[in-house]
Structure 1
Amino acid sequence: MPDRVYPPVIAACKLMFRVLDLRITRDGTDHVPTTGGAVMASNHVSYLDFIFAGFGALPAKRLVRFMAKHEVFENRISGPLMRGMHHIPVDRSAGQASYQQALAALRAGEIVGIFPEATISRSFTVKDVKSGAVRLAAEAGVPLLPTALWGTQRLWTKGKPKNLTQRHVPVTIVVGAPIEPTTDEALRTRVRELLDEAQRRYPESGEGQWWQPAHLGGTAPTPEEAARLDARR
């Protein structure tokens, strides 16, 4: 499929990275296949995660088609961009159509990006995951790439004002080795391991900071508190 919109969007994002002087670290990008389909399954801590997960595939010269809620496609600004980049709208009332569209993309040799937690994690830990990523990889017969993002929540996350003027923020992108698409819990475990690794190697401790999870000394909600906040909304 022709990609006239994606390249200039990537160029704009790279410009943003330079202006903000983000300290981006990419690990494991050699795990992204240079040809053929794959499912990239990432944790979700920021509204900008699709940008950074996609950035993890660029060294392999691959563009990722992300599955995103259909409301994003209806926005007058983001909608044309999302459609132009051939991302995949997800209507939870008609999920099978989205699933089939993603399956077709995988079989056509595309990389499909999924945030299997479905929503941003307020606790900055890995929530329970939905079954779509594992099912898609198994049915399409393609690699399942567990991915972890860290630091992106400091720019824009749920329940906090976006801060796109903050400079020098470290952002870590870790792409794990492909795993067999067996169970949702196996995927969750591997993404959590990669996230733990990213947090250990992060250059700022974050102790006492809102963007650090409670179990690492931050003031983010615990998973239980985050679940109650989500339920309230």
Structure 2
Amino acid sequence: MILLRLLFRLVFRPRVHGREHLPRTGPVILASNHLSFIDSVVLQLVTRRQVRFLAKAEYFHGTGLKGRLVRWFFTATGAVPVERGAHRAAQDALETALGVLAKGQVFGIYPEGTRSLDGRLYRGRTGVAWLALTAGVPVVPVALTGTDRLQPVGRRLPRWHRITVTFGPPIRGTGQPRSGPARRVVTDEVMRAIGTMSGQETAPEFNAAPLT
């Protein structure tokens, strides 16, 4: 992973701002906007700590050379397998994320739920706040700029395009995780921070297809 980080920085020369806001130790949530499939890889390669993301369990069960390569890729990028489509899938995913935080690790999440296809920043879903309030950990907002050009939707391999990654000051929410208003307040604060750093136009609605 160290070699991949060095190679990525040498080839793509990403601009990284505010990296000091990410604690060097202890559990923390990285909450980012989501523009491209490569976003999770980028976040993994510009941080000093491994970032854990949720990924569909079938990515880890493939056979043959392709299956092994896919499994290696998602393992190397910090992915944690979760079952999708099952009863209680969303809650089970959040429980898995709590396990990551309980180990003192970094958990990455996209509050919009899925990639923005029009470049706007959509309304955040409150799972990020539930995690933060339940685990009692800070949320570091992150803004990605240019990853939609680095790897546009539908393109299998990235092309050269310089990107910017901006980390904001940690946000510590208050309130009970079962309180809908408290979760909404924390989530909206996180999304405002992301929007301020990314400069994206904001959309008042939720994105169409969460958790994909």
Relative to the length of structure 1, the TM-score reads: 0.71
- The aligned runs of 1:38-57 (5 Å cut-off) are 38-57=28-47
Q: Deviations over 1:76-113 (max 9, x none)?
A: 13224324655223425322222112101102100001
User: Which letter does structure 2 place at the counterpart of 1:12?
Assistant: L
Residue in 2 aligned with 1:67? Answer: 54
Task: State yes or no: 1:171 paired with 2:166.
Answer: no
Structure 2 residues not aligned, in runs of 5+: 174-184
Q: Secondary structure at 1:183's aligned position in 2? A: helix
- The aligned runs of 1:153-168 (5 Å cut-off) are 153-158=148-153, 160-162=154-156, 164=158, 166-167=159-160
Deviation of 1:115 (Å): 1.2
Residue in 1 aligned with 2:112? Answer: 117
Give the root-mean-square deviation of aligned CA atoms: 2.8
CA distance in 1 between counterparts of 2:120 and 2:126 reads: 18
CA distance in 2 between counterparts of 1:38 and 1:124 reads: 26
Residue in 1 aligned with 2:198? Answer: 195
Aligned mate of 2:134, from 124, 133, 139: 139
Q: Contact conserved, 2:53 with 2:79, CA < 8 A, in 1?
A: yes
Structure 1 residues not aligned, in runs of 5+: 1-6, 200-214, 216-221
Relative to 1, partners in 2 of residues 1:53 and 1:16: Cα closer, same or farther, differing over 3 Å? closer
Q: Deviations over 1:108-145 (max 9, x none)?
A: 10000111112110111211222221111111111101
Count matched residues: 190
CA distance in 2 between counterparts of 1:23 and 1:68 reads: 27
User: Which letter does structure 2 place at the counterpart of 1:178?
Assistant: P
Deviation of 1:44 (Å): 0.4
Relative to the length of structure 2, the TM-score reads: 0.77
Percent identity between the aligned chains? 30
Residue in 2 aligned with 1:185? Answer: 188
CA distance in 2 between counterparts of 1:52 and 1:137 reads: 23
Relative to 1, partners in 2 of residues 1:32 and 1:16: Cα closer, same or farther, differing over 3 Å? closer
Relative to 1, partners in 2 of residues 1:72 and 1:154: Cα closer, same or farther, differing over 3 Å? farther
Q: Contact conserved, 2:144 with 2:164, CA < 8 A, in 1?
A: yes
